[in-house]
Amino acid sequence: MSADEARSSGNAPDADLSFEGYERFDGTVGARNHVLVLPSVICSHMVADRIADRVPGAVSAPHDHGCAQIGADNEQTERTFWGVAQNPNVAGTVVVGLGCEHVQSDAVAERLDDAGERVRELSIQEAGGTEPTIARGARAASELVEAAADETVPAGADALTVGIVATDLAEGTVAKAAPLVGAFADEVVAAGGRVVAAGSEPLIAHAEAAQEAAADDATAADVDTLLARHEAHPPKARAVHRAAADRSFAAATRAWGDQPIREVCDYGAPATLDRGLAVVDAPSEFAEAATGLVAAGAQVIVHVTDEGVPTGHPVAPVVKVTGNEATYEVLSDDVDVDATTASVADLRERITAVLDGDPSCAERHGVDDFAITRVGPSL
């Protein structure tokens, strides 16, 4: 399917992108009603997992950050915690620390409280050990679950933020899946919604084209800042970075839709635009990209994957799309949409069903991962 065919196949100007979700205090609407158990440091992530396991409606976000990080990495980790906890899919957060880490649980919780979020905080050292922390944490998470909204409200496209990441640039991705997803992204923007795209590799590989894709001078300056940051910290030698250099900028970003870039978001920071396309300064590696998209505000993530990577994310449902017919034949229970046969209307129907509460394939299997990208080395 070509890009033109994808756009003409079910891409009506009045496409219905409404959904039923959970209204938050700030007017945003979540597609899920999770209570997040967030470890502020690697040392507390197993305790956070055990707390979430005890409380229906709670999810945990285990990671290997928060200790012995320096400078920009430490700032990015904190920023990501705040962004993820403020995602519309999160009804409340229990922050769990150890007590001696650099990223302190009380500081994270205080920032969330100042923002108006429902939050509880505890640390293993202060609580008196692992078991007391699990018991107290489970009580705190249960309180937040009980306080969460249990009725849904109707929401339109203007309340929708869709995250998009393509973790490869294989032929099936560029020719089939990316045009399909890009056409859906154009629908979202045309209807008044937001698209946040992860994958800084095409910007780095095609600096001039990336600057030309900016909607205005201020955004072009932000693109320049992103490029300068990556020049100072060269990207890891990932396959997508090499493939992006071999493809045109248009081909490498086709899944983002035919929209100018209206905002560039630091990793972990929320998108602030009212409508249009924002690019998150995140790598295309799935787990790291998904966390960046969740922190930017995405209620749902569309993952373009040639190989059918089955992993989801604990906070946002992930809709898997492949342009590889053989992959779909083998992994039809792990991939939501076969782009070789689906229309934009088919993709829209699947995504709106997931927004309304139908589990995506990754959710149904309970397979998820949470990771935060690093700026530089940690000690």
CA distances from 370 to 64, 83, 292, 315, 316 (A): 10, 14, 10, 9, 11
State pLDDT tens for residues 341-376.
999 999 999 999 999 999 999 999 999 999 998 876
C-alpha span between 357 and 379 (Å, rounded): 42
Strand order through the sheet with 153-155 = 29-30, 19-23, 153-155
C-alpha span between 97 and 81 (Å, rounded): 13
Is the distance from CB of 265 to CB of 279 less than 8 angstroms?
Answer: yes
Please determine, for residue 8, whether its predicted confidence score (pLDDT) is greater than 50.
no
DSSP 196: E
What string of DSSP letters covers 231-265? HHSPPP--HHHHHHHHS-HHHHTGGG-S--EEEEE
The mean per-residue pLDDT over the stretch 68-96 comes to 88
In the chain, what percentage of residues exceed pLDDT 90?
79
> In what helix (H) or strand (E) does residue 223 lie, and over which residues does it extend?
helix 217-232
Please determine, for residue 66, whether its predicted confidence score (pLDDT) is greater than 70.
no
Q: Provide the β-strand partners of residue 368.
A: 312
Give Dmax (Cα) for the chain: 62
Q: What is the pLDDT of residue 379?
A: 45
- Supply the pTM of this predicted model: 0.93
C-alpha span between 224 and 351 (Å, rounded): 33
State pLDDT tens for residues 292-301.
999 999 999 9
If you classify domain 34-147 with CATH, what class do you get? Answer: alpha beta
Please determine, for residue 83, whether its predicted confidence score (pLDDT) is greater than 90.
yes
State pLDDT tens for residues 189-241.
999 999 999 989 999 999 999 999 999 999 999 999 999 988 876 555 467 77
Q: What is the pLDDT of residue 238?
A: 62
C-alpha span between 81 and 86 (Å, rounded): 9
Return the beta strands (E) in the chain as ranges: 19-23, 29-30, 34-39, 58-60, 90-97, 119-123, 153-155, 161-166, 194-198, 261-265, 276-280, 300-304, 318-322, 337-338
Which of 36, 31, 35, 59 shows the shortest CA–CA distance to 152?
Answer: 31
Q: Where are the domains of the chain?
A: 34-147, 155-365
